[in-house]
Structure 1
Amino acid sequence: MQARGHALVLSATAACLLPLLLQLPPSLGFGFGIAAVLIAIASWRRAMPFLLRLLIGIGMIVAIAVVAPGVGRDTACMVLAAMLALKPSETVSLRDGRSLAGFALFGPFAAFLLDQGPVSLVLALTAVLASLLALQQLANDEADVRPRAGSHWWQASTGVLRLLALGLPLALAAFWLFPRLPTPLWGLPNRVVAKPGLSDTMTPGGWLDLMNDDSPAARVQFFGAAPPRDQMYWRGPVLWNFDGRTWSQPKQLLNIPAAPLQPAGAGWDYQIEPEPTEQRQLIALDLPMQVPDGAFVSLDYSVRSSQPLNGVTRWRMRSAAPAAAEPELPEALRRLALQLPAGFNPRTLAMGRQWRREAGNDVQGNADAAIANRALAMIRREFGYTLNVPLAGRNEIDDFLFERKQGYCEHFSSSFVVLMRAAGIPARVVTGYAGGYRNPIGDYWLVLNSRAHAWAEVWLPRRGWVRVDPTAAVAPERVFDTLADRQPGRIGAFDGLVPVFNASDWLRRGWNDFVLGYDAQRQQRLFNPFGVDRIGSRELILLFTTIATLALAWMAWLIARGEREKDPLLRAWHRLGRRYSRQGRGREMHEPAQAWAERVAADVPRAGEHLRALSRRFSDARYAAVEPAALRRLLRDLAAHRP
């Protein structure tokens, strides 16, 4: 394989590998990228020894097993990335280069299994173009075609771009018109490495990665008034079970429907677009009153989807503050909301029982409310907010309430609920997001993963479940280290990046709406602007077939037109031969020009003499240098000659 072709093949492989590496865990993607560069350099002149290739491959597989112990589509993409990084180590011959350029195209296509964003699309198109250029160069090397002097790479890419343009109409027709199924034809295996998002468990210290992630969790469009930012509590999983360290969501409650709620006010109408998480958990403004088909409000007012959120989805919801949320608490739920594990946090349990004795009991619930207010007052007076906390011990609640007195929302909500349960007040932990960032471009709200939050709900007689946010009770002067006020796009003193962030996220939202959100229902409404209310699958198939046939005919015409002889001298000579063919004296494919002229002269002496002269001039112009003026005269004479 020649040096130019080898370099183009390696460049195409790098372009194909890049979109795949960007979707892998950062440590693995960076490591594979460095390994690919070193392997390409080390094997530039000769293939690596087999044993060395084997050891590198085993090391890559071990790294994948450490990062992602399991089988999923992300681990399959990791293995593919490792194979692409290692393949150049045995790429030496022309056949090896052609095999690598073709195999590398699996990289950008596999990246779409993990991300379908515009960046992945641009990188994939670049990779396809680079691979086609490499294959074209390998074909030229095989045919020993040398580049013309002064030619540039963009001139060589003209043919490749023409091929891509030929297939564009058919690709667009397939995207817009090929009937889409309401559900996928086949299922894709889940990821092994979880995407950022809420979990159905909560352990103190387990949210730091999520709280440091400024990627979007959801985008929300309000129809009408929006609630104040400090009242934006986006409800996610509700955690009841506690084992002394970890809170979890009871599976037995997920399929029990919630009781109808009576709103206390007008409420808010909105559409929420959650990012794909491959889970069924949705978030909703606290508390959801109405959800669309395909969503389900469980007993504790958390919202779940009937299908995993593998792609971009939209949910039109309505939420409001309730007049009362479950004012009558069933006994089974009361026991669940009071459950505490034995042998953990004795000081907290003792303080909760003491507060109960001091407050007493009353059927109105005033004593329970007084205990909750006493806990909030203690937090406001003595506790501070910080992300810098030590690892949790066995009695983490005791350590937090009596020793450390510093933490973040996980610690505050968990300790508050345990203290309430110790005092005999039913309580539970609610996880979700708090607040939001309004993007002025597009007028929608952005909920970031860094806004992940946990709060508490206590059950009070006649009032039902009441939201209590113990983290918000921390006095402002005792907030020592927080991410809560960080604005997206603001990096230190670079406040000018905020408009860039707004514009880029608005473009991403448009991409989600225009491309990723184009499903079967939107396809059926494609022709609404033309007065067609709904178009069925049969009509879509007919329309797609018609447009695809026209596109294929157009492609065939362009290819045939491009295959015409580009040399004007050859075109004139072939036209002359076709004129003689109509007289039965056409030139045979194997017949040289002079021999053909002699054969014609034997049959038609007068015409043959003229043809002899034209054939000699044609041979001279074809195989020897002639003046431009002589070439123009020859073209004119060839066009004028008749049998």
Structure 2
Amino acid sequence: MVEPRASLAFDPASRRWALLVGAVCVLPLLLQLPLLQGLLIGAASVAISLLTWRRPLPGWLRLLLALSVLGIVLSLSGFRFGRDTGCALLAAMLAIKPAETFSLRDARSLVGFALFAPFATFLLDQGPLSLALGLIAAVLALTALQRFAEIESGDSAAPPSPVRRLLGIGRLLAIGLPMALAVFWLFPRLATPAWGVPDRALARPGLSDRMSPGEWAELMNDETPVLRARFFGAAPLPAQLYWRGPVLWDFDGQTWTQPGGLRGLPPAATQPAATRWDYEMAIEPTDRRQLVALDLPLSAPTGSELTLDHGLYAAAPLSALTRWRVQSAPPARYEPRLHPVLRQMALALPPGYNPRTLALARQWRSEAGRDDAAIVQRSLAWIRARFAYTLDTPRPGRHGVDEFLFDQQAGFCQHFSSAFVVLMRGAGIPARVVTGYAGGYRNAIGDYWLVRRSDAHAWAEAWLPGRGWVRVDPTAAVAPERIYDTLADRAPGADGLIAGLLGSVWGDRAAGTRLFDVRDFMRRGWNDFVLGFNADRQQRLLKPLGVDKLEPRTLIVLFAMAAALALLWMAWLSARGPRQADPVLRAWHRLGRRYARLDLAREPHEPAHEWAERVSQARPELAGPLQSLTRRFNDWRYARTEPERRAAHALIRDLRAHRPRLHGERR
């Protein structure tokens, strides 16, 4: 009994190829998972492949291994189910799959399931690196499936060269490329999607509506981009780059939070200064609705709202890259008349906390009289003279502000802003904490500003008579370089292995920064032309061609025309058919065309031996040579013995030499 070819064990080279394709497919997904998860899944995949290199594991051991790996992944995810947990489980299952890959069917199953990994990657990241790795994985997977098809059909005796194989895969991709481009550019896009993907179990960091001194230490070492801002006209000075986020009013002795009753109230009255900043922000995805804007935004852009304290909030979570056109201006006067309820909120302190700070505040008030500005300046002078900036701070105790002001006298922005506001409130000056980002890095190639998570900052606002809310940054009094980015070594790419290598080779310490500029500029271009291609940008697609406004009906017609042209291209390219890669098959098909000129063509449904028998009856003088060639071709094509396979060159020669003649035609 002949064993079905789909279950036949295949050669070690093909198994290695299947495992390689699986690894390449799962690589972009592993890069998007949390570091520990990715390392464990990758190590498990390598270990399982080595343990099962020669023979499969027993069924009970494979089951135990699968349950162990899945249990570890779920425990690392905190048993929270979401988009990233599902992707991690997919990667874990693919890591286990090599334990049972020993036949052609297993290999095809592994490659087929592995193709889900690059697509799952796009649920977590849609950057150019993920796309490039996904394309490489898809090409290798198609190449592997082609190889498996050759093994199953018996056509692997004379496999095509790698170049010819890749050209064939490229042809398959070229068939569908026009349709893919037509769908991307012209398919009508909804401003608000009608469906979405599941939320992530692990939140993507964004500005929070609460702050506890000391909790940002890890965030301020994170160089992940938050936004990229391009200015139309004059750009602000570095000292003016305060990106306003949540405003925190309530303090319970440990944590600052936003009050719940200010949303929906109109923004406070302001008198903007003459300076205006017009800019567009491309904000990276987070799981929150909080937007930032330069201090102070003049109005809320479409799709957002401006709160009483000039915080910006999007109508929906910022789960994808979004663009916002905003105008801001520094205030000349900001809420010069403070409502009694707001004044009470801006003076409130929890009882029983920080007695030394409150005693100092009362002393300063008695010495300064009614001069609030003098108290503000006295506190800044004290901080400038006695305090230091550091991220290495102990965990605050019950009287955290007292400990910071009188014992430690060293910390970072959260400590300075929190302590300053408590000190001002103790002296009877309304004050509040403002969080956001400060500074940024100017990319000289793209002429835009990059703000990273390490630029997270907290400052204070004190209410002064006649002026209203005034920004006071006590951290800048201690470490202005931390706020205004005047130190060269804070530039991205200034340190690190790549920068060191480039600097040693080129003798240029700034080489790493220039490399970062190029890389981030390319990422910004990807965001502009791919991730940021939304319904609004689609409407502006044909404007350079004279189409000022792309109506939905026009867009549908254009898409239908482009899709029809793409379908014609696909039909034409498919009808041409690929050039037969195997030289034996090419010679056999040429022989069939020679007999077609004698009106003895083989029918598409007709087996080779039946065709040879029919030709022999019609032309007995051709029976012997044709039947011999047919028998040899069938042996080469379908037999499992190697002798006929090794005789392929002789068969090709004889097939080319056999040339039937017309009746009466002389040789």
Q: Normalising by structure 2, what TM-score?
A: 0.86
For residues 509 and 333 of structure 1, what CA distance do their matches in structure 2 show?
41
2:437 paired residue number? 433
For residues 641 and 425 of structure 1, what CA distance do their matches in structure 2 show?
115
2:540 paired residue number? 525
SS at the partner of 2:351?
coil
CA offset at residue 532 of structure 1? 1.4
Query: Is contact 2:595-2:601 (8 Å) kept?
Result: no
Match for residue 102 of structure 1 among 104, 107, 112: 112
Q: Per-residue CA shift, 1:313-352, capped at 9, x if unaligned?
A: 2111111111211111111111111121122212112222
Q: Closer, same or farther in 2 for the Cα pair 1:401/1:490, shift >3 Å?
A: same
2:210 paired residue number? 201
Q: Per-residue CA shift, 1:212-254, capped at 9, x if unaligned?
A: 1112111111111111111211111111111111111223223
Query: Is contact 1:257-1:296 (8 Å) kept?
Result: no
Q: Structure 2 unaligned segments of length 5 or more: list them.
A: 1-8, 504-508, 637-646
For residues 554 and 98 of structure 2, what CA distance do their matches in structure 1 show?
48
Asked whether 1:229 is paired with 2:238, we answer yes
* 1:315-394 matches, cutoff 5 A: 315-361=324-370, 367-394=371-398
Q: Per-residue CA shift, 1:61-118, capped at 9, x if unaligned?
A: 3443344452321222222222222222233332222222111111111111111000
CA offset at residue 393 of structure 1? 1.5
Asked whether 1:559 is paired with 2:574, we answer yes
Query: Is contact 1:417-1:429 (8 Å) kept?
Result: yes
Match for residue 129 of structure 1 among 114, 139, 149: 139
Q: Per-residue CA shift, 1:233-285, capped at 9, x if unaligned?
A: 11111111111111112232233221343211122111111111121111111
Match for residue 8 of structure 1 among 4, 13, 17: 17
Q: Per-residue CA shift, 1:560-614, capped at 9, x if unaligned?
A: 322676755444443344445499999965655653344324xxxxxx75x5698
Asked whether 1:35 is paired with 2:44, we answer yes
SS at the partner of 1:252?
coil
SS at the partner of 1:547?
helix
Match for residue 173 of structure 2 among 141, 164, 167: 164
2:644 paired residue number? none
Q: Closer, same or farther in 2 for the Cα pair 1:465/1:158, shift >3 Å?
A: same
Query: Is contact 1:621-1:631 (8 Å) kept?
Result: no
Task: Tell me whether 112-121 or 570-579 shows the greater mean CA deviation.
Answer: 570-579
Aligned amino acid, residue 447 of structure 1: V
For residues 141 and 19 of structure 2, what CA distance do their matches in structure 1 show?
9
CA offset at residue 358 of structure 1? 2.5
Q: Per-residue CA shift, 1:470-499, capped at 9, x if unaligned?
A: 0011177999xx999611111165431111
Match for residue 116 of structure 1 among 104, 112, 126: 126
Query: Is contact 2:436-2:456 (8 Å) kept?
Result: yes
SS at the partner of 1:31?
helix
Query: Is contact 1:197-1:210 (8 Å) kept?
Result: no
Query: Is contact 1:261-1:325 (8 Å) kept?
Result: yes
For residues 585 and 469 of structure 1, what CA distance do their matches in structure 2 show?
87
Task: Tell me whether 120-129 or 94-103 shows the greater mean CA deviation.
Answer: 94-103
Q: Closer, same or farther in 2 for the Cα pair 1:638/1:549, shift >3 Å?
A: farther
Q: Per-residue CA shift, 1:406-426, capped at 9, x if unaligned?
A: 001110001001111111111
Aligned amino acid, residue 315 of structure 1: W
Q: Per-residue CA shift, 1:393-449, capped at 9, x if unaligned?
A: 121111100100000111000100111111111111111111111111111111121
1:449 paired residue number? 453
Query: Is contact 2:222-2:454 (8 Å) kept?
Result: yes
CA offset at residue 621 of structure 1? 9.9
* 1:183-262 matches, cutoff 5 A: 183-262=192-271
Query: Is contact 2:206-2:288 (8 Å) kept?
Result: no
Aligned residues: 627
For residues 124 and 209 of structure 1, what CA distance do their matches in structure 2 show?
31
Asked whether 1:596 is paired with 2:611, we answer no
CA RMSD of aligned residues (A): 3.2
CA offset at residue 353 of structure 1? 2.1
Q: Per-residue CA shift, 1:478-523, capped at 9, x if unaligned?
A: 99xx999611111165431111100010010000000011111221
For residues 567 and 664 of structure 2, what CA distance do their matches in structure 1 show?
37
SS at the partner of 2:393?
coil
Query: Is contact 1:428-1:457 (8 Å) kept?
Result: yes
* 1:412-561 matches, cutoff 5 A: 412-474=416-478, 486-491=490-495, 494=503, 495=509, 496-561=511-576
1:604 paired residue number? none
For residues 472 and 305 of structure 1, what CA distance do their matches in structure 2 show?
30
Q: Normalising by structure 1, what TM-score?
A: 0.89
CA offset at residue 618 of structure 1? 6.6
1:364 paired residue number? none
CA offset at residue 538 of structure 1? 3.1
For residues 613 and 484 of structure 1, what CA distance do their matches in structure 2 show?
87
For residues 127 and 229 of structure 1, what CA distance do their matches in structure 2 show?
44
Query: Is contact 1:53-1:86 (8 Å) kept?
Result: no
For residues 272 and 86 of structure 2, what CA distance do their matches in structure 1 show?
48
Match for residue 143 of structure 1 among 153, 165, 187: 153
Q: Per-residue CA shift, 1:126-146, capped at 9, x if unaligned?
A: 111222222223223333443
* 1:37-56 matches, cutoff 5 A: 37-49=46-58, 50-51=60-61, 53-55=63-65
Q: Structure 1 unaligned segments of length 5 or more: list them.
A: 362-366, 602-607
For residues 42 and 627 of structure 1, what CA distance do their matches in structure 2 show?
44
Match for residue 397 of structure 1 among 388, 398, 401: 401
Aligned amino acid, residue 575 of structure 1: R
For residues 662 and 397 of structure 2, what CA distance do their matches in structure 1 show?
97
CA offset at residue 303 of structure 1? 1.1
For residues 10 and 639 of structure 1, what CA distance do their matches in structure 2 show?
58
For residues 157 and 628 of structure 1, what CA distance do their matches in structure 2 show?
25
